[in-house]
Each structure stands twice: as C-alpha cells, then as structure tokens.
Amino acid sequence: MRTPTLRQLTASLATDLAVLYPAPEAEAIAGQVLEHLLDLTPLQRRMQASEVIPAPMLAALEPLRARLLRHEPLQYVLGIAFFAGMELEVTPATLIPRPETEELVALISREQATRPQLRVLDVGTGSGCIPLALSRQLAVPHLTAIDVSAQALDVARRNALTYQVPIDFQQVDILQSTPRLAGPLDVLVSNPPYVLEQERPLMRPNVLDYEPATALFVPNEDPLLFYRRIADLGRGWLRAGGAVYFEINEQFATETVAMLTNFGYHKAQALPDLFGKARLVRATWPGSGA
C-alpha cells in the first residue's frame, strides 16, 4: 500500500474522528495530533502537507488514534494542554483547563494589576494553571495552591518546576480542613466542582469517562457547597479590600452573588464569559470591622 502524505493522513484521521465530533472539531484534533507527533507548527504542517509520512510515524499514530476513538480527550492522549500561553502537563488526575478559566485569570489580572506584593490562594488548583498564569501576568510573590488530590498536586508541581514559579502546594480537603497561610490574602480564587450530579447524562463521554469526577460534581441538593465554604473561610483570610473570584455554574449565578452578599462581601457581581454566559463571580471583602 502506498505511504500516505501528511495531508492524506490528516484527512483520514479527521474522517475517523468525525463519528465522535463535529467535522470542524475532528479536523482540528487531527491536525493537532499530527503536529504533536511530527513536532511541527500549524504553519509547517500546512507547508509540508505533500510530504510522505515515514513508516515509524505511521506506527506511532495508531495507538493515539485508538485512544481518541475511545473518546479519550486529546489533551490526555498528548499529555499536554495549552493555557494562557503555556504548555502544561495534564493527566486524568487533573481537569483539562478551559477557556472560561483563562477568562477568570484575565479578570483577576485586570483588577489586581496595580496592587504590589500580592498574596494569592487558589483552591482546587488541579494542574496549577491558575497560579501559574497569574504569576506570568502579575507580580505575585506569595502563591499558595491547594487540592484534595495528591496526584493532581504532583502534576501541578511539575508544571511549576517547568516554568520556575515558586508555589506553596498543599494537599487539603477544603471541606474538612484549611491550608497554612503566611498572612492575609489579597486574592482568593477557585474553580471548584460545580456540575450537578443530575447533569451527568448531558455530558460528553470524553469528559464523563475520563476527567476526575471529584473535580467536577456536586450534590444536586447543595450546588453551592464549595462556594459557601470558601466564601466563609475567606472572611477570615482576606485583608480589607481583598477579593474573591469564582468560576461558576451559570445556573447559580444569582444564588452565588446573594450568598456572598449575605456573608458580608461588597460589590458581588456575576460577569459574562465570551459567550455571554454568567460564568464568573467576583466580590470584595470590606474587612471584619465593616
């Protein structure tokens, strides 16, 4: 059989993946797989589209194709995810960073840009994407990040080592205990579990079957479980004028804002993402004497 060109191989993989994904997404995944396998940029892949693929590369592609056809997410298959200009390691112990989380980082960076010597805590850090991105955009000399999963923290530590960012990682179940903090916080941020158990049937297999359930789901009867706990603790952690930032389930934007207001936070508001959905919430802590 004739050895395929890069263009033909990309098209073949995209055709296979089209049974699982819409055609544009299947084509994008196929392109990224071949770029990763052949160590090419998108431009190089297009320029070399007519070149024949060596047999060893064809063989190396097959296990990747098989994993993708079992609905395994591209990021886990390749072992990397791109986030805020960084290439981060991800594994099934960590959530795959989403564009909404990049928007959360951008919001914090805009609002905190003029504050020096920031002290930040990230609750449920996963791959470490939030503190790592903040360290590239702000002067953050004191970063603490916690997660319930030891395996996720191992990944986060490797990512921090890659980008040479000093972060105090701690294994903490925020519902049961609290982290060690060296001083009052300027920023408390979290992208905690917020998908209702009843939403499981609505989720794609590539998320439901592979991403860590402990980082995704909350009980139907208590959707604000993590937000309420974090906001309550934040009243003792944040300095006057410090801020809390959440990524949320859009269904509970009003409830999340009301909860923060009831806890005594000021300027609590839900903000839209790029698609107009209320996916971000922020509020300011006025200080214990307010």
pLDDT for 244-276, tens place per residue? 999 999 999 999 999 999 999 999 999 999 899
Average model confidence (pLDDT) across the chain: 94
User: Does the pLDDT value for residue 111 go beyond 70?
Assistant: yes
For 162-215, how does the pLDDT look when each residue is reduced to its tens digit (9 = 90+)? 999 999 999 999 999 999 998 999 999 999 999 889 999 888 898 989 999 889
pLDDT band at 74 (very low <50, low <70, confident <90, very high): very high
pLDDT band at 16 (very low <50, low <70, confident <90, very high): very high
User: Does the pLDDT value for residue 116 go beyond 90?
Assistant: no
Helix 55-69 and helix 6-17: axis angle, to 10°? 10
State the pTM of this model: 0.93
**Domain 92-284: homologous superfamily in CATH:** Vaccinia Virus protein VP39 (3.40.50.150)
